[in-house]
Chains A and B, each alone.
Chain A
Amino acid sequence: MSWQRMAAIMGVVYGIVAILPLFVGDIRFIMQILIICLIWAVVASCWDVIMGFAGIFSFGQVAFFVIGAYTSGIFAVSWQVPAVLAILMAGLFTAGMGVLVGLPCLKLAGPYVALVTFGVHMTLMPLLRGDIGIALGSGGSVGILTIPPITLFGYAFSSANIIPTFYLTLALAVTCSVVILVVINSYWGTAFLALKDSEEFAVSLGISAFKYKLMVFALTSFLTGVVGAYYGHYIGMLSTRMLELDLFVTLMVMLVVGGIGKFPGAILGAFITVTVNELLAPLGSYRAVTMGALVVILVLLLPNGVMGFWLRRSKAGATST
């Protein structure tokens, strides 16, 4: 897909989202869902960059989100660091963790990369709930309950000011998406794709596998950490509940629905998945089962997600006219 097309799709999606408050701005509950959609859109897009573009089967995406959220929360609560600064520091810290996790993955084949990165996810809950976490300020099994909202020029962006907070989240999501768009269409993106397709051919042509793989880890964990940190300040509290499987699975569903390696499909996937999930809420305990069944059907019908389906349709349309 050309970068112009990616940018156009992104522009349309975010453009529509930007005018939604005109219609639903006074329905708090919908505004909250939109904010959450924007946050997951970035996290799913980052996962797509590392998995879909770079071909690295990292399952540490939620872990990086939680690391970012907790780091910023601890900085803000235990050290009284201003939220904006804490978020940036959390992003950098998460990027460092991403590189550390990436190092052992460099020489490993796909399934082992998945194991190592998911291992990080698994160790995070006992770590945050245990003595080490408590010493660091994680709040143990209770979590962190009093994270201050982001304050810019004396104005607090909290759920009490839902519309301004929505636009701040939108600005963050657009910024992250533009970064992703630029990176995957630069020669970095070419290097990621080349290494995914044939590592030996790529390195024989001068691409450093070491450099570009670590760069993917650093970039995606930085953005994920920043968004995780932002999430913590928006919600105001954190617990290890996020590390339970349902969030991980929901994120994976977003990616599959959008289409793996089909950026900006992941953004669409996030909006579709969250919306469907909310629409299924009346089903109560049958919601998860129904969602699962819908995913199975979707994967069978649209193996490349909505983005792949749409691209194929528009291609067929172009050749038949």
Chain B
Amino acid sequence: MLKLNHVTKKFGELVAVNDLSFAVEAGQVFGIAGPNGAGKSTVYNLITGFYPFEGEIAFEGRNIAGRQPHEISKLGIARTFQIPQTFPSLTVEQSVGVGNRFGARGRFDPAYVESILAFMELTPVRHEPTGQLSLLDKKRLMMGAALATRPKILMLDEPMAGSNSNEIRSLMESIRRINAEMGITIIIIEHFMKVLTELTSTLLIIETGTKVCMGDPETVVNDPEVIECYLGESYG
């Protein structure tokens, strides 16, 4: 469904993503992990058209390199941001509406927005301005707005960061249902290994922009190289 082919991104001298190739299959939950600064968020920024890069990114067989972020959104690729983004001038309902109005392939559908608000448990705060939401609600809002674009693939950037264990359980359940019930392919960047091993079917580990290892999560977390570069001796 989504395929990166020898993708490289340099910021001046710094090589943030280095000759990276991987493929995500339709319907799967695909995990990405790696130390801070490994280039994970940059990979999202390349897929969603925020920066030019070398190499090729194909979505459903089409090369999408060079497209603008809003065009990528209309192709059916949605994402969230590591640093929670909101629209303080808009209410929760309006913000989710933005995704449906501008991103969705198809007409603006208030009933669909309604169902997303309910699904993300945002109905009680629907009229609140988004700037004042709790961290958890901000994350739900970002996911809700992304879902409102009716994506084929949803890319989450560290959705669990800063959450307690109850919140993590609730977010994990939402992600599972987005994948299973809505049939949306998911890519998730996460530091919590337990989240990744429970949710994902394929796990990619990158370090300094380079692929270290990729495979089913159980195998990957026991890979000696992964343990050395990322998980450390104490894991397991």
Chain A contacts to B: CB under 8 angstroms: 187, 190-191, 193-194, 196-198, 200-210, 261
In angstroms, Cα B153 to Cα A163, docked, is: 63
Residues of B within 8 A of A190 (CB): 90, 94, 97-98, 101
Contact A193 B81 (CB under 8 A): no
In the assembled complex, B149 has its CB within 8 A of some CB on chain A: yes
Complex: chain A residue closest to B85, CB-CB: A201
8 Å CB contacts to A: which residues of B94-129?
Answer: 94-95, 97-99, 101-104, 108
- Which residue of B89, B142, B146, B149 has the most chain A CB atoms within 10 A of its CB atom? B89
Complex: chain B residue closest to A55, CB-CB: B89
In angstroms, Cα B70 to Cα A210, docked, is: 10
In angstroms, Cα B48 to Cα A190, docked, is: 22
Contact A205 B102 (CB under 8 A): yes
Q: A191-B102, A193-B87 are in contact. Are A206 and B74 (CB under 8 A)?
A: yes
In the assembled complex, B16 has its CB within 8 A of some CB on chain A: no
Given contacts A193-B87, A204-B48, A204-B70, list 5 more A-B pairs with CB under 8 A: A197-B89, A201-B142, A203-B68, A205-B99, A208-B70
Chain B contacts to A: CB under 8 angstroms: 48, 50, 68-70, 73-74, 78-79, 81, 85-90, 94-95, 97-99, 101-104, 108, 142, 145-146, 148-149
Q: From residue A201, how far is it (CB to closest CB) to chain B in Å? A: 4
Contact A205 B98 (CB under 8 A): yes
Contact B90 A209 (CB under 8 A): no
In angstroms, Cα B99 to Cα A292, docked, is: 44
Q: From residue B35, how far is it (CB to closest CB) to chain A in Å? A: 24
Contact A187 B101 (CB under 8 A): yes
- Which residue of A193, A196, A206 has the most chain B CB atoms within 10 A of its CB atom? A206
Total A-B Cβ pairs within 8 A:
79
Q: List 29 A–B pairs whose Cβ atoms lie within 8 Å, in order of A's numbering.
A: A187-B101, A187-B108, A190-B94, A193-B90, A197-B88, A197-B89, A200-B81, A200-B85, A201-B85, A201-B86, A201-B142, A201-B145, A203-B68, A203-B73, A204-B48, A204-B70, A204-B73, A204-B79, A204-B146, A205-B99, A205-B103, A205-B145, A206-B74, A206-B99, A206-B101, A206-B102, A206-B103, A206-B149, A209-B70
In angstroms, Cα B73 to Cα A202, docked, is: 10
Residues of A within 8 A of B79 (CB): 204
Residues of A within 8 A of B103 (CB): 205-206
Residues of B within 8 A of A201 (CB): 81, 85-87, 142, 145
Contact B90 A205 (CB under 8 A): no
Complex: chain B residue closest to A191, CB-CB: B102
Q: A204-B73, A204-B79, A205-B146 are in contact. Are A197 and B68 (CB under 8 A)?
A: no
Q: A190-B101, A203-B69 are in contact. Are A198 and B74 (CB under 8 A)?
A: no
Complex: chain A residue closest to B102, CB-CB: A206
Contact A194 B98 (CB under 8 A): yes
Residues of A within 8 A of B87 (CB): 193-194, 197-198, 201-202
In angstroms, Cα B48 to Cα A285, docked, is: 59
* Top 7 A-B pairs, shortest CB-CB distance: A206-B103, A201-B85, A206-B102, A206-B73, A203-B69, A193-B89, A197-B87
Residues of B within 8 A of A261 (CB): 89
In angstroms, Cα B89 to Cα A261, docked, is: 10
Complex: chain A residue closest to B69, CB-CB: A203
In angstroms, Cα B142 to Cα A75, docked, is: 52
